[in-house]
Amino acid sequence: MTVKRHLLTGVLATVASALFASSAVAAPSKILVVTTTLGFRHSSIETAESVIAELGKSSGVYEVELAAGKAALAEKMTPAALKGYAGVIFANTTGDLPLPDRDAFIEWVRNGGAFIGIHSASDTFHGYRPYIDMLGGEFDYHREQVVIEGINRDASHPANRHLGEMWDLQGKKEEIYVFKNYMQKSVHELIVLNRHPNSNEPGSFPVSWCREFGKGRVFYTSLGHNEYVWEMPEFQQHLLGGIEWALRLER
């Protein structure tokens, strides 16, 4: 009887330990935030760095490492270093970034990495088609800043479900991109305009989208030119929801 009691106690302890482990909070994902620029540099980059880091801390979803220059890219974006990150964010990057191995970076995303592009991430690597194909579109031009009426294409998506049917950024102006090489059939649209942002010509003009890319996930929002956009709770939740989706923490 004593032996059986000890065995039962051991089994219950093992089950309890397993239940405790399964209910424990997962460690935050490690994300590399790249704000390196080789072209135009946005004044909102410092605000972007702060907001992205604070969203990670307050949500407990991720923790941030920063790559804000060529030396940081050379160290933190090698094929070996990328294995230590769950996701990479290009926040207002511009130009042909000097990655140690850009083909390896694309393959890292294809093999299960999360990529989050913000604003001028689409104004990056114009001459490198694999990046454009991964992102799903390429910055073409913008004109004067405007107030928009963005249409919520998917109210169930974690980047959008806090928004109503329309999103006007609190009536404040933002720099709105027009795209070329946009792969509409290969992306899942999140926010779109039904008119050209400046001319009001009818059409379909994307603002934000996401997509599966091999085993990886890509989320992109073209918003984020102005500091006050970064400070909007609605934009912050849009961004956090997109990050969670790209990390496969949200369906």
Q: Encode pLDDT of 32-88 as tens digits.
A: 999 999 999 999 999 999 999 999 999 999 999 999 999 999 999 999 999 999 999
Sheet containing 166-167, strands listed edge to edge, beginning at the edge strand earlier in sequence: 62-67, 29-34, 87-91, 114-118, 216-221, 202-213, 188-195, 150-152, 166-167
Instruction: Specify the pLDDT at position 251.
Output: 67
Instruction: Specify the pLDDT at position 27.
Output: 85
- 111 or 16, greater pLDDT: 111
Give the β-pairing of 188-195 and 62-67: unpaired
pTM score, whole prediction: 0.89
Tokens of 134: 């991964």
User: What mean pLDDT do residues 105-126 have?
Assistant: 98
* Residues 55, 79: Cα–Cα separation, whole Å: 27
* Residues 131, 111: Cα–Cα separation, whole Å: 15
> For the chain, what is the mean pLDDT?
91
DSSP 142-196: E-S-B---EEES-TTSTTTTTS-SEE-GGG--B--EEEES--GGGSEEEEEEEE-
Give the β-pairing of 62-67 and 29-34: parallel
Answer yes or no: are the C-beta atoms of 150 and 164 closer than 8 Å: no
6-10, 61-65, 89-93, 175-179: range with lowest mean pLDDT:
6-10
Instruction: Specify the pLDDT at position 250.
Output: 75
Confidence check: pLDDT of 12 > 60:
no
- Name the residue ranges covered by the structural domains of the chain: 25-140+180-191+207-246
Domain 25-140+180-191+207-246 fold is Rossmann fold (3.40.50)
* Residues 123, 117: Cα–Cα separation, whole Å: 10
Confidence check: pLDDT of 97 > 50:
yes
Beta bridge pairs of residue 150: 167
Confidence check: pLDDT of 15 > 70:
no
* Residues 212, 113: Cα–Cα separation, whole Å: 11
User: What mean pLDDT do residues 91-95 have?
Assistant: 98
